[in-house]
Structure 1
């Protein structure tokens, strides 16, 4: 059931994927991330959170955050994800820098992914597929708040003889090679699925003593409570009812939930309701209807709660996001 909570969050943040660059590089080479404000409007106007990723299909290279941190060596079959879209450099050796490129080439009427070659002479030392995911970071995004700055996914990790991420990487490579009709849309969807699989690998790697929303998904009591609240946010959930549903005492459940997730269950439910409401408002649903959908008996009560949690009335939120889009 906990997996449903992850699916719900991914749905409400309206994730949209795009693969923009098919890179062939000859050492020495370095490439810096395109500025997020240039990329986001190309993927989904109005989105405010950028995720960058790189799939190494051949060879190896290094990934380095511009603001510091140890360079990370990335090998063929691995996917590196910058979950907050932080400025970073991909390069043949650690410590290299390059000026950020312009996104002008992506604005024209060209077939994506845009092919890029780095380096002048010698053999190709690395091939990458690079792209982005756009999503909404607010008003409440427990997934993005719980993820580390950088994730590494491995194509050979998973269940069965054909690990999911490895299959997705091969499909992406085939689409880029064959450049079939509709390939841009297919690659975008593959990007979304790959992100989910990398997150799954991260969740599976979490140690039992870790806290956070993702750790809560794995917990048998907290995970079930999250699934219940996500499945029916309009229900009049109370602390005692949730504890009973998950098979725990009221006090033990409340302590366990707050310890793992970081907020009490009722606070989480209130924030999640506003996240669901924000998505409905973005779809221009009538405010009274939105209020009923998330469990409020009146538009006035919902508006007060929305303003308290989000910081502005629902009508202002709706109009501001409509303008941005």
Structure 2
């Protein structure tokens, strides 16, 4: 693993949940409350307004792609009229509701609105799940919302995911999961406006990107803030302040998070504990075990056994 963005997406272990096509007739408006599920949308025709929780509304136009790595509450509508007033009214009434109930037209196809006149928008939406228990730490490094203008590669990937979701071909789950990984990477690296903090903001800064790539290329190296600053061509204090401001956490905290995420990934892959300790920069299995137990709440061996049992359980249920 050499690229921080690819590392994060791979370790999130994205899994397809479902996707659907929506045909919308104005006026329409949908307010969704999600339990932190990753959400994506590709606008095939027309346009709409999308407002994530605590964020300004954006115009989503034909060909645009939107990714919310950890969706909580968001609103999609044909325009912004009454958006703030309606949202305040819903919150006062005690939570989220669907202002415009979808009507199923066919398998995987839904309608919004009264179907009078021409459709104002047609789009593909989908949800996925991140199967790693470290998802909160890894997702915190990603933007809250990604908006990419008219990218044909993303359009092709979303269509492939939709086609594969509706098919029942051999190795369907494997194909879907790989397509999702590529979709997430393409969407994240295509973001024109990186978030205030996080991995993309750090990678957009040439000097901080050098330090990030160094940590991910060589997690076993005995990095210090001084050595990372030297690699980035900055003074120690300037590097520390700049890294923390851009990435959102101090350099050594990011390194520690990355090492533990990598350790869990290796343990799930049945790599021997001594080898894992060496790969993530600990002087001995005992030292690694102490740090792992303090961070995770169980020994590396117990964690590996639990992950193996969980994977076997999922495999057995899938065969049933």
Q: Secondary structure at the match of 1:215?
A: helix
Q: Tell whether 2:140 aligns with 1:145.
A: yes
1:168-218 CA distances to partner (integer Å, 9 max, x unpaired)? 31464478589788596666644443332332233x4349xx554432222
Query: Taking structure 1 as reference, are residues 55 and 302 closer, same or farther at Cα in structure 2, changes over 3 Å only?
Result: same
Match of 2:130 among 117, 130, 135: 135
What is the 5 A alignment of 1:97-112? 97-98=97-98
What is the 5 A alignment of 1:1-325? 4-17=3-16, 20-31=19-30, 33=32, 36=35, 50-65=37-52, 71-94=57-80, 95=83, 97-98=97-98, 114-122=108-116, 123-136=118-131, 138-139=133-134, 144-155=139-150, 165-170=151-156, 172-173=158-159, 189-202=178-191, 204-206=192-194, 211-319=197-305, 321=307, 322-323=309-310
Q: Secondary structure at the match of 2:119?
A: coil
Query: Taking structure 1 as reference, are residues 99 and 187 closer, same or farther at Cα in structure 2, changes over 3 Å only?
Result: farther
Paired residues, number: 291
TM-score (norm 2): 0.72
Gaps of 5+ in 2: 87-96, 315-320
Paired residues of 2:37 and 2:129 also in contact (CA < 8 A) = yes
1:94-116 CA distances to partner (integer Å, 9 max, x unpaired)? 547517989xx9xxxxxx98222
1:26-71 CA distances to partner (integer Å, 9 max, x unpaired)? 33444555855xxxxxxxxxxxx62101111011223345x67655
1-side partners of 2:295 and 2:121: how far apart? 47
1-side partners of 2:230 and 2:50: how far apart? 47
TM-score (norm 1): 0.71
1:133-158 CA distances to partner (integer Å, 9 max, x unpaired)? 32256537665214443322211xxx
1-side partners of 2:239 and 2:112: how far apart? 55
How far off is 1:84 after superposition? 0.9
How large is the RMSD of aligned CA atoms in angstroms? Answer: 3.9
Q: Secondary structure at the match of 2:140?
A: helix
Paired residues of 1:137 and 1:144 also in contact (CA < 8 A) = no
Q: Secondary structure at the match of 1:121?
A: coil
Which residue in 1 is equivalent to 2:91? none
How far off is 1:247 after superposition? 3.6
2-side partners of 1:231 and 1:131: how far apart? 33
2-side partners of 1:141 and 1:182: how far apart? 32
2-side partners of 1:132 and 1:141: how far apart? 17
Which residue in 2 is equivalent to 1:43? none
